[in-house]
């Protein structure tokens, strides 16, 4: 939906009552039949629009969807989210975004789904989300980074989620190494970063962000005790659109800082948002299970673990759980 359609929607939203087809036709410089066709398109997208022979059209309600037309009305960014691919239902926004990126899609391109049939978390795990309830997006970025620095992108994505929660709600969230967003010990969001690179230069990064918004995870037995949502924590629904716009604006701000060479400041800020440090943790990785004190992270985000033997090791990938009995 672009140009004319957005102007039409703007008119309908601003007008509190009915607006005549004639007035619309005049403003858009199109025929009355063309106006009627545009109204039909909007209705198809879930807009409830009444029509009366002598009065014209009146917008009764907007669909609870993250339509590009809504985003464009609100978003103040230079490039992130300026190009939007919107899907009521798709396999996985990351899969689509990777295809678009390899075909040359420009930096900042946003892929949104209301529902995913093959939503994934890290390590190929399922990411559960009913339709029209949460935020399921992927962003295409083309940073000047070496592959070793791609973790910066995961860091700014998770920081942006934390900051957006902080800006729009009274909730406190933190980051569980390496890429989960947590509220009171339960998972409210996650980041899935995938990328394509040459030996020493990233070609593109696709960063997938999932945030549980107006969704009740307690009705799904498989995640009832590990997941939460903004709705569940707050006791009320909040505007997904407002959250998404805030998140994208925050992402752009952080990304610009990263590209301006402030990577180490970002690591520091990310480190301060980690709930994982100075705690006894258990790490399950391909190399096996390790237990120890999570002492720090290095400049690329690797976890520095102190084993009971006193030995210090770096962990690049794995699942962390806190050892609550020792904490």
Cα angle value 119/147/94 (rounded, 5°): 15
Pick between residue 42 and residue 206 the one whose CB is nearest to its own copies.
206
> Containing H/E element for 52?
strand 48-52
- Looking at 60, 61, 200, 236, which residue binds its own copies (CB under 8 A)? 200
Q: Does 118 bind its own copies (CB under 8 A)?
A: no
Residues 73-112 that bind its own copies (CB under 8 A): 98, 102
Pick between residue 242 and residue 300 the one whose CB is nearest to its own copies.
300
User: How far apart are CB 255 and its own copies at their closest, in Å?
Assistant: 17
**Residue span binding its own copies (CB under 8 A) among the ranges 181-189, 196-204, 266-274, 290-298:** 196-204
Candidates 76, 75, 59; CA nearest to 67 is 75
User: How far apart are CB 178 and its own copies at their closest, in Å?
Assistant: 7
Burial state string for 116-150 with b = 16 or more CB within 10 A and e = fewer than 16: beebbbbeeeebbbeebbbbbbbbbbebebebebb
Distance CA(154)–CA(173), nearest Å, equals 16
Residues 148-177 that bind its own copies (CB under 8 A): 148, 150-151, 154
Token pair of 265 as six digits: 């400041």
Q: Does 197 bind its own copies (CB under 8 A)?
A: yes
Asked if residue 178 has a cis previous peptide bond (ω within 30° of 0), the answer is yes
User: How far apart are CB 80 and its own copies at their closest, in Å?
Assistant: 20
> Containing H/E element for 110?
strand 110-113
Pick between residue 69 and residue 305 the one whose CB is nearest to its own copies.
305
Provide the binding-site residues for its own copies, judged by CB under 8 A.
Answer: 98, 102, 122-123, 144, 146-148, 150-151, 154, 178-179, 192-201, 203, 286, 300, 316-317
């Amino acid at each position: 939906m672009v140009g004319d359609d957005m102007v039409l929607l703007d008119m309908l939203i601003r007008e509190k009552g009915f607006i005549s087809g004639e007035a619309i036709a005049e403003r858009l410089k199109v025929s009355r039949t063309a106006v009627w066709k545009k109204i039909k398109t909007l209705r198809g997208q879930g807009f409830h629009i009444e029509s009366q022979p002598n009065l014209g059209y009146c917008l009764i309600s907007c669909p609870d969807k993250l339509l590009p037309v809504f985003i464009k009305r609100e978003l103040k960014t230079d490039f992130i989210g300026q190009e939007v691919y919107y899907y009521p239902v798709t396999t996985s926004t990351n899969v689509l975004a990777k295809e678009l990126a390899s075909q040359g899609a420009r930096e900042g391109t946003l892929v949104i789904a209301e529902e995913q049939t093959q939503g994934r978390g890290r390590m190929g795990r399922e990411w559960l989300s009913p339709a029209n309830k949460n935020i399921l997006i992927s962003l295409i970025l083309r940073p000047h980074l070496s592959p070793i620095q791609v973790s910066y992108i995961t860091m700014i994505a998770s920081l942006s989620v934390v900051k957006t929660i902080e800006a729009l709600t009274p909730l406190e969230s933190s980051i569980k190494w390496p890429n989960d967003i947590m509220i009171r010990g339960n998972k409210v969001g996650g980041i899935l970063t995938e990328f394509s690179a040459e030996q020493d230069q990233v070609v593109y990064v696709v960063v997938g962000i999932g945030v549980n918004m107006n969704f009740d995870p307690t009705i799904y037995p498989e995640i009832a005790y590990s997941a939460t949502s903004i709705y569940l924590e707050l006791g009320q629904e909040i505007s997904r659109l407002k959250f998404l716009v805030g998140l994208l604006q925050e992402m752009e701000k952080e990304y610009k800082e990263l590209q301006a060479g402030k990577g180490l400041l970002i690591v520091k800020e990310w480190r301060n948002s980690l709930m994982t440090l100075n705690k006894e943790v258990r790490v399950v990785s391909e190399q096996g299970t390790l237990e120890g004190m999570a002492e720090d992270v290095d400049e690329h985000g690797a976890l520095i673990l102190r084993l009971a033997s006193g030995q210090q090791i770096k962990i690049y990938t794995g699942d962390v759980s806190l050892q609550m009995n020792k904490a």
